[in-house]
């Protein structure tokens, strides 16, 4: 018997070297030279294990890819799930917003040739943030009420709005800028009136809302908070890389995703860290979906050097990795959860740098 340095006792054998290590064949043996089993990949059994792993990965991918929805002319920066009679909106670089009906058929373009930088869909209210045409032009947010077919434009500040969010709990609209500014308007009597602005001194990349808190993902691994009831602000650093994804799960947890592949989970509303992992990849986009079985799944678009982009699927509870989906269309820059279509499936959409929009079904 010997202590492996981690508080566990193991029995050392030398006669097992003829037996292939199943974990090494799968690429996940942590024992190294101390492993009692063989690391010879030329054995027939090890070959069968590798083949089984490859077939399993291929099956996971093939079963989940549904189809390519479209190939547009510019990068797809944002995708947002919409409500009937629409299915989703696609925000394409410098070319407004693409509108898609419930049958995934392209219906036309809103704000054509307008540089839309962010959007948010809340029931019948649609919000589209657009950059100024000239260098020092202020941003503009177009708010559309599809129930009344009325729209209004809200004047912002100079810079680029990276995220826009409306919460009906407070009838408040928020815009987060690349210069660290958070701007807030109150919505009453059909008008938006600015009531607050705060500077977080770091570019804001992503934004989420939970129970009276505006949560901000920022550059250099910072998370910012804005408390609506008291207008208090704070920020903390949880990583060294940009926080590109903020997701609220069905279990009232906050999932944060950094561009360096760091995934951290916080319980809400006390913001206590309950789990973390690293994807060992550069991450360009993420989304969380709840399956028909009620399981929260984190999907991330991952990149590794000299490898094709993949979508990593992970169970949020326990941070259990479920598999990889190979993204054959190109580099993914946005992911969106569509949920069920025609009362079935767990569908997600990926938007790519080359203009491709792909549909996947995690329930397959």
Considering the domain boundaries, does residue 245 fall inside one? no
Stretches in the chain below the pLDDT threshold 70: 1-18, 22-34, 39-63, 133-135, 306, 364
Question: For position 268, what pLDDT does the model report?
Answer: 93
Considering the domain boundaries, does residue 143 fall inside one? yes
CATH number, domain with residue 183: 2.130.10.10
Question: For position 149, what pLDDT does the model report?
Answer: 83
Q: How far apart are CA 302 and CA 204, in angstroms?
A: 21
Question: For position 3, what pLDDT does the model report?
Answer: 35
3-state secondary structure of 53: helix
**Helix-, strand-, coil-residue percentages of the chain, each rounded to 5:** 10, 55, 40
Question: For position 14, what pLDDT does the model report?
Answer: 43
The residues that bridge with 357 in the sheet, in sequence order, are: 70, 351
Considering the domain boundaries, does residue 86 fall inside one? yes
Considering the domain boundaries, does residue 59 fall inside one? no
Considering the domain boundaries, does residue 3 fall inside one? no
3-state secondary structure of 228: coil
Range of the domain at 145: 75-237
Q: How many CB atoms lie within 10 A of CB 48?
A: 12
pLDDT in tens, 131-173: 876 667 899 999 998 888 889 999 999 989 999 999 999 999 9
Place of tokens 């995708």: 79
Number of domains in the chain: 1
Residues 6+ apart with CB under 8 A from 355: 70, 71, 72, 73, 74, 75, 76, 92
Considering the domain boundaries, does residue 270 fall inside one? no
- In this structure, are residues 129 and 146 in contact, taking their beta carbons and an 8 Å threshold? no
Place of tokens 């009831």: 229
Considering the domain boundaries, does residue 338 fall inside one? no
Nearest CA to 117 out of 93, 151, 81 is that of: 93
- In this structure, are residues 186 and 172 in contact, taking their beta carbons and an 8 Å threshold? yes
- Measuring CA to CA, how many Å separate 189 from each of 141, 167, 192, 320? 18, 16, 9, 47
Task: Give me the DSSP letters along 152-221.
Answer: EEEE--SS-EEEEEEETTTTEEEEEETTSEEEEEEEETTEEEEEEEEE-SS-EEEEEEETTEEEEEEGGG
Secondary structure element (H or E) that encloses residue 331, with its range: none
Residues 6+ apart with CB under 8 A from 86: 99, 100, 101, 102, 107
Considering the domain boundaries, does residue 226 fall inside one? yes
Q: How far apart are CA 263 and CA 337, in angstroms?
A: 18
Q: How far apart are CA 26 and CA 55, in angstroms?
A: 12
Q: How far apart are CA 351 and CA 92, in angstroms?
A: 9
């Amino acid at each position: 018997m010997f202590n492996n340095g981690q508080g566990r006792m193991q029995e050392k054998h030398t006669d097992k070297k003829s037996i292939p290590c199943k974990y090494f064949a799968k690429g996940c043996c942590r024992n190294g030279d101390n492993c009692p089993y063989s690391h010879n990949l030329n054995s027939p059994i090890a070959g069968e294990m590798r083949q089984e792993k490859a077939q399993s990965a291929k099956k996971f991918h093939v079963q989940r890819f549904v189809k390519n929805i479209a190939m547009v002319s510019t990068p797809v920066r944002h995708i947002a799930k919409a409500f009937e009679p629409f299915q989703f909106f696609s925000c394409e670089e410098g070319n407004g917003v693409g509108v898609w009906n419930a049958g995934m058929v392209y219906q036309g373009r809103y704000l054509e040739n307008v540089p839309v930088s962010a959007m948010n869909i809340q029931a019948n209210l649609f919000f589209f943030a657009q950059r100024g045409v000239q260098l020092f032009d202020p941003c503009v947010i177009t708010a559309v009420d599809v129930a009344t077919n009325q729209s209004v434009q809200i004047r912002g500040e100079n810079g680029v709005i990276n995220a826009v969010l409306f919460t009906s709990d407070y009838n408040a609209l928020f815009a987060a800028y690349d210069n660290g500014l958070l701007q807030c308007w109150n919505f009453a009597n059909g008008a938006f009136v600015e009531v607050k602005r705060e500077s977080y001194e770091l570019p804001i990349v992503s934004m989420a809302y939970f129970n009276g808190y505006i949560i901000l993902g920022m550059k250099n691994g910072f998370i910012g908070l804005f408390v609506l009831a008291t207008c208090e602000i704070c920020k903390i650093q949880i990583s060294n890389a940009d926080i590109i994804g903020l997701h609220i799960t069905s279990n009232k947890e906050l999932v944060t995703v950094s561009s360096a592949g760091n995934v951290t989970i916080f319980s809400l509303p006390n913001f206590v860290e309950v789990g973390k992992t690293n994807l060992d990849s550069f991450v360009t986009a993420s989304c969380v979906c709840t399956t028909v079985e009620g399981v929260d799944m984190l999907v991330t678009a991952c990149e590794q050097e000299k490898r094709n982009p993949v979508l990593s699927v992970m169970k949020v509870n326990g941070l259990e990795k479920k598999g990889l989906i190979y993204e054959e269309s190109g580099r993914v820059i946005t992911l969106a959860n569509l949920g069920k279509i025609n009362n079935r499936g767990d569908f997600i959409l990926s938007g790519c740098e080359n203009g491709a929009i792909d549909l996947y079904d995690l329930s397959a």
